[in-house]
Amino acid sequence: MKNINEIMRIIQQLDHHIADDFEAQDLEFKRWNFSSLEENINKMIKYSVCMANGGGGSVVFGLADRVRGIDNVLTGVPFDVDIKKLQKKVYENTDPPISPSFDELFYKDHSVRLLVMSVIPENPPYTTVNGTATIRQGKECLPYRNDS
């Protein structure tokens, strides 16, 4: 799993690359949907399960992943989004419960906030509370089949 310094180094390269170039087994970039907090929470739940079943990883929220140029890439996350509420929602909607950690990154003189959600698996396999399970394979979340 990439640490915060590695993620920051990747973000610094986005003037000349697209974020998708750096997505991997343990790293995903997602744009924040400013019109639907619920959609963002559902993405967090989905990616928490996917990353946990795939060995762990981080999702950076607030970045456009298919554009070039740091000013275009840094879309941000609202400053009033409460990290503790996000953690609670993921915990309540995963089975067994997942407790992701969140780090904040600030850019453009603190005018842009990014959230890095990191998931370390402890007790896979994981599902959403409605029974959906995915697993990270490369850059994708694929259906998880527990064949053991």
In tens, the pLDDT along 46-93 reads: 999 999 999 999 999 999 988 999 999 999 999 999 999 999 999 999
Model pTM above 0.85: yes
Spans of all domains in the chain: 4-143
Which region, left, alpha or beta, applies to residue 24 given φ > 0 means left and ψ of -120 to 50 means alpha? beta
- Is pLDDT of 8 > 60? yes
Give the other-Cβ count within 10 Å of 18's Cβ.
Answer: 19
Q: What percent of the chain has pLDDT over 90?
A: 95
**Cβ-based burial of 66 (10 A; exposed 0-12, middle 13-18, buried ≥19):** exposed
The CATH number for 4-143, chosen from 3.30.950.30, 1.20.1090.10, 3.20.20.60, 3.40.50.1100, is: 3.30.950.30
pLDDT band, very low/low/confident/very high, at 147 (cuts 50, 70, 90): low
Burial 79-114 (b: 16+ CB within 10 A, else e): eebeeeebbebbeebbeeebebebeebebeeeebbb
